[in-house]
A and B are shown apart, each in its own frame.
Chain A
Amino acid sequence: MNIWIEQQRALIDFTLASLARRKARNLGLLAVYALLVFVLASVALFSHALRHEATRILADAPELILQRMVAGRHDLIPPGYLEKIGRIRGVQKMEGRLWGYYYDPVIKANYTFMVPTAGGVERGTIVIGTALERVRGLALETGISFRAYSGKLYSFVVADILPRDSELVSADLVLMHEDDFRAFFEFPAGHYTDIALSVANPQEVRNIAAKLAAALPDSRPILREEMLRTYASIFAWREGIILAILSGALLAFAILAWDKAAGLSAEEKREIGILKAIGWETGDVIRMKIWEGVLISLSAFLIGYVAAYLHVFRAGGVLFEPVLKGWAVLYPRFQLTPEIDGLAVATLFFFTVVPYTAAVLVPIWRAATTDPDAVMRS
């Protein structure tokens, strides 16, 4: 065992000394390699953490939401629907929800106006998300006016600001009193945007959704798991956009790495011949080259991954924010909880370290199996 360790130490020493000879070339390769890992790992970490965050927040969402459809479009829930649902067994709790979108021409962004089901917002006041606080320069007790779609102007006083840790889903949110909401959007009494339902037995959600669809054929039940899937696919889609943009860079690096690793210069071939002549076995030469591949690719992987971790979880993923974070025009500002997906790390490791190490080996195998007497005859 000691002999094996000493052998590996000697091979690593030689590999490091050998790499140090072409410092600029190898450091350049390491930098490009680490940059690539950094970008890929940033996207993976960011998307994974975002998905995790969304799942965590949606865990408190209702199991089922019922929307009414007219001509394939979402329409208001008319009075009487809540009573009809109440007769379906298994429905534990139901609430008519009031929410809608408002386009603010001042900052050219959409807000979500909403009435909290638990109440708690006084008439004439609003509770706002942190993005709105930032972009409109609002603070507690300051006033703001919105022109309704009817043309009338409504003024509100900011009574509270939503906590920062929910910014992922509340950045553009404006909470208001039911009466204000109905007046602003001219919602008739007894109408709702949609209905949120709680189900006593989570196993029964699909059955209840089927019963709802049968009892209210003009309505569409939306399951929480469907919302989660939609979020996941949105993030996956955004991740895909970045990766598609990066694919050119990936390909360029693959060519660079292959060229560096697979192309063996005359000088390197000569050195392998010398090593064999002075008593190195073919296996020793191959082991030395494996170390070279591992040292470069592993260092690049570690540097790139740690930098990506710091970028995503300490610097808020500043480089990819516009693509990965944006919902509408208001970008939420939030600190992601560090969350690492072991499978993603393993996949990234496999696709960065293994191909490079393998690319190093192919030409070495050919060169290392040449006759050692070639050195004497050259």
Chain B
Amino acid sequence: MIELIEVRKAFNQGKHNEFWALDGINLNIEAHRVTALCGPSGSGKTTLLTLIGCLARPTSGRARFKGEDISGLPERFLTQLRRRSFGFVFQQFNLIRGLSAEENVMLPAAPSGLPQREVRAKAAMLLDRLRLAHRRTARVEWLSGGEQQRVAIARALINDPEVLIADEPTANLDTTLAREFLAILESFASEGRTVILSSHDPLVIQSAAVHRVINMRDGRIVDNQ
């Protein structure tokens, strides 16, 4: 589903502080499976996720999504593809404070032009599915960490994406909530979604919910199970 060929990514290219975050990545990620990128801080997990999720373009190399080369797509098309096909759960959740859980969930659908009533109904359904129906109108800063993460998951699913990307999803959760998150992941995979996450949490890496673990270090893949 996602294919990366000799992908390299540099930051501050040409400057004195040039840094290569990814260096020659070759990877093929299968659909309908949960893939975990594993490695220490600075190994390039998050940068790789940004390339896979169309948040950034590689400095060199090719990235393909469902056979189509996306590494050279203009910003506008990349954004449309990202909105349609990818859902993101960020490490800090990145919810917008002051807005309700439902308003946050509806946000990615705003530029899609879908009728507001339809989007609201879908947001309500997702919050209900994630056991947050009673917190629908609560401001997100009033929610607990676990609740905030479930709001972030619901937000990632509002446009019905094929791929769900989660960056260090359990970093801010205790063990119980982390297990709960893994259970949610498993349900996504079973309904046919592709899940790609980054983590160095053993609970995630060793979980039965994760089908494949890719170990990274210094911007390279060192082990691909």
Determine if chain A interacts with chain B.
yes
Binding site for B on A (CB under 8 A): 2-4, 6-7, 9-11, 13-14, 17-18, 21-22, 267, 270-271, 274-282, 284, 371-373, 375-378
Residue B20 is within 8 A (CB to CB) of chain A in the complex:
no
Closest to A14 in B: B110
A216: min CB distance to chain B, Å = 79
B49's contact among A21, A274, A376, by CB below 8 Å, is which?
Answer: A376
Residue B108 is within 8 A (CB to CB) of chain A in the complex:
yes
CB atoms of A278 and B155 under 8 A apart: yes
CB atoms of A278 and B99 under 8 A apart: no
CB atoms of B113 and A6 under 8 A apart: yes
Interface centre among B49, B50, B110 (most CB of A within 10 A): B110
27 pairs of residues in contact across A and B, judged by CB atoms under 8 Å: A2-B113, A6-B113, A6-B115, A7-B112, A10-B119, A13-B116, A14-B103, A17-B99, A17-B103, A18-B96, A274-B94, A274-B95, A274-B96, A277-B55, A279-B79, A280-B107, A280-B108, A280-B110, A281-B80, A281-B111, A284-B111, A372-B82, A373-B50, A373-B56, A375-B90, A377-B50, A378-B92
B35: min CB distance to chain A, Å = 17
Which residues of the other chain, A, contact B75 by a CB distance below 8 angstroms?
281-282
Closest to A280 in B: B111
A101: min CB distance to chain B, Å = 67
Closest to A284 in B: B111
**Tally of contact residues, B, Cβ under 8 A:** 40
CB atoms of B94 and A277 under 8 A apart: yes
Which residues of the other chain, B, contact A21 by a CB distance below 8 angstroms?
97-99
CB atoms of A281 and B79 under 8 A apart: yes
Which residues of the other chain, B, contact A371 by a CB distance below 8 angstroms?
55-56
A-B pair number, CB within 8 angstroms: 98
CB atoms of B110 and A18 under 8 A apart: no
CB atoms of B50 and A376 under 8 A apart: yes
CB atoms of B82 and A279 under 8 A apart: yes
B120: min CB distance to chain A, Å = 10
B197: min CB distance to chain A, Å = 13
A6's contact among B83, B116, B159, by CB below 8 Å, is which?
Answer: B116
Closest to B119 in A: A10
Q: Interface on chain A toward B: helix, strand, loop, or mixed SS?
A: helix
CB atoms of B111 and A279 under 8 A apart: yes
Binding site for A on B (CB under 8 A): 46-47, 49-50, 55-56, 75-76, 79-80, 82-84, 88, 90, 92, 94-100, 103, 106-116, 119, 155-156, 159, 167
Which residues of the other chain, B, contact A14 by a CB distance below 8 angstroms?
103, 107, 110
B113's contact among A3, A278, A280, A373, by CB below 8 Å, is which?
Answer: A3
CB atoms of B111 and A7 under 8 A apart: yes
Closest to A369 in B: B75
Closest to A273 in B: B94
Whole-angstrom CA separation of A376 from B50 in the bound complex: 7
Which residues of the other chain, B, contact A7 by a CB distance below 8 angstroms?
110-113
Interface centre among A21, A371, A372 (most CB of B within 10 A): A372
CB atoms of B110 and A284 under 8 A apart: yes
Whole-angstrom CA separation of A18 from B83 in the bound complex: 21
Whole-angstrom CA separation of A271 from B49 in the bound complex: 20
A194: min CB distance to chain B, Å = 72
4 tightest A-B CB contacts, nearest first: A279-B83, A21-B98, A3-B113, A10-B110
Which residues of the other chain, B, contact A284 by a CB distance below 8 angstroms?
110-111
CB within 8 Å for A376 and B90 given contacts A10-B116, A279-B79: yes
Which residues of the other chain, B, contact A279 by a CB distance below 8 angstroms?
79-80, 82-84, 108, 111, 159
B3: min CB distance to chain A, Å = 20
Whole-angstrom CA separation of A3 from B115 in the bound complex: 8
Closest to B82 in A: A279
- Additional pairs, 7, CB under 8 Å, beyond known A3-B113, A279-B82, A284-B110: A11-B110, A14-B103, A21-B99, A22-B98, A274-B96, A276-B79, A278-B156
Which residues of the other chain, A, contact B55 by a CB distance below 8 angstroms?
277, 371-373, 375-376
Whole-angstrom CA separation of A157 from B184 in the bound complex: 99
CB atoms of A281 and B76 under 8 A apart: yes
Whole-angstrom CA separation of A76 from B28 in the bound complex: 108
CB atoms of B111 and A377 under 8 A apart: no
Whole-angstrom CA separation of A274 from B109 in the bound complex: 13
Whole-angstrom CA separation of A280 from B83 in the bound complex: 8
A18's contact among B98, B108, B115, by CB below 8 Å, is which?
Answer: B98
Closest to B108 in A: A278
Closest to B93 in A: A274
A280: min CB distance to chain B, Å = 6
A241: min CB distance to chain B, Å = 45
